[in-house]
Amino acid sequence: MLTALRIRNLAIVEELEVSLGEGLTVITGETGAGKSILIRALKLVLGARARPDMVRTGADRAEIEALFDVSDNPIAQQRLRMLDLPDDSELVIRRVIQAGRSRGSVNGRLTTAAQLRDLATGLIDISSQHAHQTLVDPSTHLETLDAWANQPELIEAVEATYREAMESRAALLELNRRLSERDERQDLLRFQLSEIARLNPRSGELEEIELEVARRQHSELLRSATAGAERALYTREGAVCTELRQLEDRLIDTAQHDPSLSSVAEQITSARTELEDAAEQLGRYAREVNSDPGELAQLEDRWQELRRLARRFGGDLDAAVVRRQEIEEELAILEQADEHLEHLEQEAARTEAAAGEAAEALSRVRRAAAVALGEAIGAELADLGMGSAYVRMEVSTLEGTGELNRGGARLTARGMDRAELLIGPNPGEEPRPLRLIASGGELSRALLATKRVLAGLGPVGTYVFDEVDSGVGGAVAEAIGMKLREVARHHQVLCITHQPQIAALGDAHLRVEKRVRRGRTHSQMISITDEARIEEIARMLGGRTVSDAARDAARALLP
């Protein structure tokens, strides 16, 4: 739901801020007052193309900010997550237009116009005489029909079986590809395996060899250093450990006169014991240091071979170890490929048949639901002064060849059908696509009727109707107003209208005014209630000069 809209320096609007609530909000005002700017601002918020001439004369940029409450709109939140955008319960969209460029942001994060358009389906649907919106786009009609049919289990079954069939088909194609080049592939794999098996590398072996080579290359230095350290600590005359033992004995004797020195003597004893252990380790190291040049050469040769092997398999010896296992597994599959091929062919046939059966079951449900949906929309149109209109939701089979087919029909994750809403406005006329209806008034009423039938089923949070009352009289206008109120029970509805019968039925009323101040035109939008609202409806009834009779008539229209 759209809860607030702020516009700055857009066309003749210098600054406008409006708060919006649930139910039906009507927007009125004289022609040219700037009502259409609201529609333009909302379209920009939802990713429409921005033009520099939209910026108010004298301003360097235009700004539009819209605040949405999406706490009850899981589809909008899902789209936010898919776009890697914050999915908070509140959604702030900002659009800035400057000469030569525009910027958009969602919840403070920069966003492309394409991403804003992706969000539009779950936020606002704008119906106007000249705009192709959700319900005039044939690509959305199948979703509309499925919402009316209300068979989510069938749709899920079609998606699941189609996905399983595509996976089976992909596995079969991959195996066939491998079989077509099996001999060459096996020769290559066996060659690679022999290279790896000859060296039989271990994970981390390169690092181990590098350390051992460094140790052997400096064996004399290491032997000299460790042997010298052993002598200094333990074996030579006057070694550190000998001196410490003598010091330890003296302190023990002295502690007989002062027991507090016993702890110090114990510390020296501990230090001497550790140094003796260290000396023993150093001596053992010095005696075991290997300086055999032949063994060093062998290590260096293996190190070079392992490095070449690592480079061949991605620069990492661990990759070669993993590749060995992969090669062995692939060779096993290729050796059993004929048997595996038969299994995959059976599995592909089974899953494709299951996908086709699920799609046919869904198609039967759709075709039955299409008849009822057409009749329901036709009944709504009759209430809107189009009683002679004939409505049909046409369901046809997807044509063309695809990866999966069923009896000449192309299968997709949505089944095997396409749907399009057709309307014949006048007797004797063949129904035509809704998008091709010429009359703006008929288009507006057809959209309203469809949305009335689907109220409560679709994901859209806010419907905007721009002059849905075009070309109708008082009785039909009142009927349109009642339909709008019914849609507003399930969705937030904004309606720009010139009909007092519709304006009187709004839960809230906004009036757009155009004023000239200091030689500049300004458009503003104010919320009106009570007497101000009566005065506005009376103006709509009687023109510029408002009479008492018009005011009485306005009061009579208000519920």
pLDDT in tens, 52-79: 888 888 888 999 999 998 887 777 777 7
Residue 64 lies in a domain: no
Q: Count helices and strands (H / E) in the chain.
A: 18, 17
Which residues make beta-bridge pairs with 514? 523
Q: What is the pLDDT of residue 206?
A: 83
Which portions of the chain are predicted below pLDDT 70?
121-122, 128-135, 437-444, 456-460, 470-473
Output the CA–CA distances (angstroms, integers) from residue 552 to 530, 536, 547, in the order listed.
Answer: 13, 12, 9
The confidence score (pLDDT) of residue 156 equals 93
CB-based contact 355:158 (threshold 8 Å): yes
Quote the pLDDT of residue 457: 65
Q: Rg of the chain over CA atoms, in angstroms?
A: 41
Q: What pLDDT is attached to residue 304?
A: 84
Neighbours of 98 (CB within 10 A): 15
Alpha carbon 351 to chain centroid, angstroms: 29
**Is residue 231 situated within a structural domain?**
yes
Q: Whole-angstrom Cα distance, residue 195 to residue 340?
A: 28
Q: What is the pLDDT of residue 443?
A: 67
In 398-553 the beta strands, taken as DSSP E runs, fall at: 405-406, 409-410, 417-424, 432-433, 462-466, 492-496, 508-517, 520-527
DSSP string, 160-205: HHHHHHHHHHHHHHHHHHHHHTHHHHHHHHHHHHHHHHHH---TTH
CB-CB contact of 395 with 367 (8 Å): yes
Measured between alpha carbons, how far apart are the two ends of the chain, in Å? 25
Which long-range contacts does 187-195 make (Cβ < 8 Å, 24+ apart)? 189/327, 189/330, 189/331, 189/334, 190/331, 192/323, 192/327, 193/324, 193/327, 193/328, 193/331, 195/309, 195/312
* Residue 283 covered by a domain: yes
How confident is the model at residue 217, as a pLDDT? 81
Question: In whole angstroms, how far apart are CA 89 and each of 1, 68, 92, 223, 269?
Answer: 11, 8, 10, 71, 70
Confirm whether 161 is domain-assigned.
no
Task: Give domain status of residue 307, yes or no.
Answer: yes
At 253, which helix (H) or strand (E)? Answer: helix 240-254
Neighbour count for residue 551 (Cβ, 10 Å):
18
Residue 468 forms part of a structural domain = no
Residue 298 forms part of a structural domain: yes
CB half-sphere exposure, 458, CA atoms < 13 A: 27
pLDDT in the model for residue 121: 65
How many domains are there within the chain?
1
Residue 334 one-letter amino acid: L
φ, ψ of residue 419 in degrees (nearest 5): -135, 145
Is residue 222 situated within a structural domain? yes
Predicted pLDDT of residue 399: 87
Whole-angstrom Cα distance, residue 111 to residue 109? Answer: 6
Domain that holds residue 291: 186-335
